[in-house]
Structure 1
């Protein structure tokens, strides 16, 4: 279902073109390639087929008004300014790359199912016109495909191109997709071949001579404000295929960072702790097969280890969530998720607003939410924790979080985002329904000295070392010396979870009890605190190996981030 809200007025106006369209004799068969979430030239089967089978090719991108309305339940802007900026960069880069191959990108403001028939009429195209696009799997996108098929009166074809493994190569039908990732992985990994990338020629077939290419809209056209780049962002990159391929080259060959990915992936500060591939993957600027084959080459020429494997492992998670969306359809968006039943979620909007704005009084949660608001990006470790806090500590409707992420994240992918939120809420593909993150322990484990918190929560920048994680336990002396006044300059926690207390003033701390400090590595009897109680780590069993990672892919288990 498309989201309900007022359509932006700009989309109600037809695109203004200069000059008159010259009606000519009907051109020989034309291939219209509708780009959606496949904004690249390399390994793009849609443009490959059109270029191979048609005498003229018309690459097209439509800025669909429905993408700029409100989200379905809570009416957040579906495409926020951070992702809009990235998208505009992707479109500009795609246009430039097409021009280098002797083609161009036709841009329109409007719904594809209206734009394409209008183009066909204006260009005097017949029923031998071929309309081809990459296949999507969720309801809104499928409705576009259905409407196009009915209204374009042309040859209509979709291709599969989002995943590492082609769905036709899987050793089972989608209805038999295992509901636990590990079972899926064991069936697929090593048993299903990875197809080679499609290779385009140096030049593409020409555009129809009488088509007006149009111009890329501005932020003003989209009724959005252009965001600046935050200097603290862990994602300081631009959108587009060119930037994606440059990042792939740098992360593998120039820096060898891929060889230590498994050790660094739980980082939170800087661009190099993780691959940062997820935003380009979400927009289709880079093919997962391209990543796979480049890593295969790297393993042959440099080194093969757990880190190089882990990137592929996470691409497989990304495949899994797309297949889950195919299997369960709109259940992906239901309050009860894919497990069904009745779940009573709270809708305390004051608590949600505190979470949304990074003002919960829990510094680790607040720092992550402020990074998201400022940059459109958040580490995988952060996503797991803020999602757990929303659904398990605040017990709020998981769709509040999913729709806010949809609005804010540069790397939003509908299958990965909603699949991961279901997973976190205990109504998705996690076999353990009661998984809960101890956000204080997690903060200590992955930001032991509080550097990340001080980066994003300036009210606490004078609080020294790890004591910042439980600022509400600090003495008045510590608070006064740090310029913190709880309830005034920084809020008290809006909730308190009992398991947090076991990580405050625990034995082995290098800080005094009066200072409210604590250490980040040891538990009550000097042993590891990891794996204890409700906030335990995710273990090392085969079943949970992909859930522990803190990847650089989408959220919990889906895309290299």
Structure 2
């Protein structure tokens, strides 16, 4: 009887999981495994904990949901903390598994891990994180356009998004001793304070993802006005918030795409519904940029190899991180991030522009701070957008945001700024200390 490991990564779902389907076709029994990479719980080069408590809590909720769905299929989930390239071969040896199936990743560290595992075991990878198979693109990955509009137009004209795969009826599983999932506390974090001013009480897992999808499309028809409201600042439904569940794969981009098309067929089709697919294509684009350029997306000069001299001011960085710059629009957005693990798209663009163009700080510090705090962190999208803000990415122009004008346009009555700057007495520095996301003497 052939046995294989189903290694879950950023694909924490049973519906539309090509790696899972492939494993079931080729092997009699599977061992579903998730390895929480211990390196993500450690500080990065700037002293920021790579996975702070907001994302970690969301991940643990997602794993709990995945385990529940596996158990409904007669299976279970083996969770370990360690290095995947060490743990996966050890698990395979212990349980007699002869192959590993997983979803393909596209950035440097993840590719290194894949190569190290493949040195020990056959590793079968599927493109579970994309809308499109790379071979279905109207160009080679190495020829991915440097401008999004060119990418979008060619993809929209020539490529068709496949329908999502159904979940398996049953998952025959290698017996193993079940263990409790790790807790936030066991991983060195306290549960973050639940701030009632937050945009949404986010909960991890596929069940919550599909509830959100149904709410945003079918229950509220919020999708029908998405383009008009997407730059909002306060509330749950000005934007979809799908990024949370897309980030760790509790729902697939293909599932959302085709649900939008079903909505267009049954309810309404307009520029707002199209814009949701437009944003999914932006997400897709950054993954192909990562595939094309590899480690360059993490370099100071970005994919342009641009020579830029950044200032190194811990004081300026500290003010930006704590939302104490004196620019009330920037500060309000930075406080929302610090207190909730979320920031709106409009806010992200403004605070990034401010760090780079006003404070003249290295854009990679901002990207790393977002990695630590954002619950919806996605490596390709995060670094793609930060390169864009830093003038070293997929835009030859320097996009400098006038934060005063932006505040007037998107927070004209000042409600958002009052919400985050005047309705709380907490010290941002103390909040950072409580979150445990800063492991340096920056302050």
What TM-score comes out, normalization by structure 1 length? 0.74
Residue number in structure 1 paired with 2:130: 163
Aligned mates of 2:92, 2:390 — CA distance in 1: 46
Other structure's SS at 2:66 match: helix
Aligned mates of 1:201, 1:281 — CA distance in 2: 20
The count of residues paired between Structure 1 and Structure 2 equals 427
Contact 1:377 1:410 in 2 (8 A): yes
Contact 2:14 2:168 in 1 (8 A): no
Please report the RMSD computed on the Cα atoms of aligned residues, expressed in angstroms: 1.5
Q: Deviations over 1:165-213 (max 9, x none)?
A: 22121011111111001111111113101112112332222x213x223
Residue number in structure 2 paired with 1:436: 400
Structure 1 residues 75-94: aligned runs within 5 Å: 75-94=47-66
Aligned mates of 1:404, 1:448 — CA distance in 2: 28
Aligned mates of 1:68, 1:159 — CA distance in 2: 27
Aligned mates of 1:34, 1:274 — CA distance in 2: 32
Answer yes or no: is 1:130 the counterpart of 2:99. yes
Aligned mates of 1:460, 1:231 — CA distance in 2: 11
Answer yes or no: is 1:178 the counterpart of 2:145. yes
Aligned mates of 1:186, 1:46 — CA distance in 2: 29
Q: 1:140 aligns with which of 94, 102, 109?
A: 109
Aligned mates of 1:64, 1:138 — CA distance in 2: 15
Residue number in structure 2 paired with 1:468: none
Moved more, 51-60 or 377-386: 51-60
Q: 2:174 aligns with which of 198, 205, 208?
A: 208
Aligned mates of 1:117, 1:201 — CA distance in 2: 26
Residue number in structure 1 paired with 2:202: 237
Contact 1:108 1:214 in 2 (8 A): no
Q: 2:16 aligns with which of 43, 59, 76?
A: 43
Q: How far 1:449 sits from its partner (Å)?
A: 0.6
Aligned mates of 1:336, 1:122 — CA distance in 2: 45
Answer yes or no: is 1:74 the counterpart of 2:46. yes
Other structure's SS at 2:377 match: coil
Structure 1 residues 464-503: aligned runs within 5 Å: none
Residue number in structure 1 paired with 2:183: 218
Structure 1 residues 501-520: aligned runs within 5 Å: none
Other structure's SS at 1:132 match: strand
Q: How far 1:460 sits from its partner (Å)?
A: 9.8
Contact 2:334 2:351 in 1 (8 A): yes
Contact 1:454 1:460 in 2 (8 A): no
Distance 1:43 1:256, change over 3 A: same
Q: How far 1:245 sits from its partner (Å)?
A: 0.6
Aligned mates of 1:213, 1:460 — CA distance in 2: 43
Residue number in structure 1 paired with 2:279: 314
Q: Deviations over 1:76-121 (max 9, x none)?
A: 0000011111000000000001111111111112112222222222
Contact 2:306 2:392 in 1 (8 A): no
The structure carrying a bigger helix percent of its residues is 2
Contact 1:107 1:213 in 2 (8 A): no
Answer yes or no: is 1:353 the counterpart of 2:322. no
Residue number in structure 2 paired with 1:538: none
Q: How far 1:228 sits from its partner (Å)?
A: 2.4
What TM-score comes out, normalization by structure 2 length? 0.94
Q: Highest Rg: 1 or 2?
A: 1
Q: 2:300 aligns with which of 316, 332, 335?
A: 335
Answer yes or no: is 1:112 the counterpart of 2:84. yes
Q: How far 1:130 sits from its partner (Å)?
A: 2.3
Q: How far 1:261 sits from its partner (Å)?
A: 0.5
Aligned mates of 1:149, 1:48 — CA distance in 2: 20
Answer yes or no: is 1:377 the counterpart of 2:346. no
Contact 1:89 1:240 in 2 (8 A): yes
Residue number in structure 2 paired with 1:149: 118
Aligned mates of 2:92, 2:32 — CA distance in 1: 13
Residue number in structure 1 paired with 2:434: none
Contact 2:36 2:82 in 1 (8 A): yes
Unaligned runs of 5+ in 2: 429-443
Q: Which has the higher contact order (CA 8 A, sep 6+)?
A: 2
Aligned mates of 1:298, 1:394 — CA distance in 2: 44
Q: Deviations over 1:213-257 (max 9, x none)?
A: 322111122111211221000131201111001100111111111
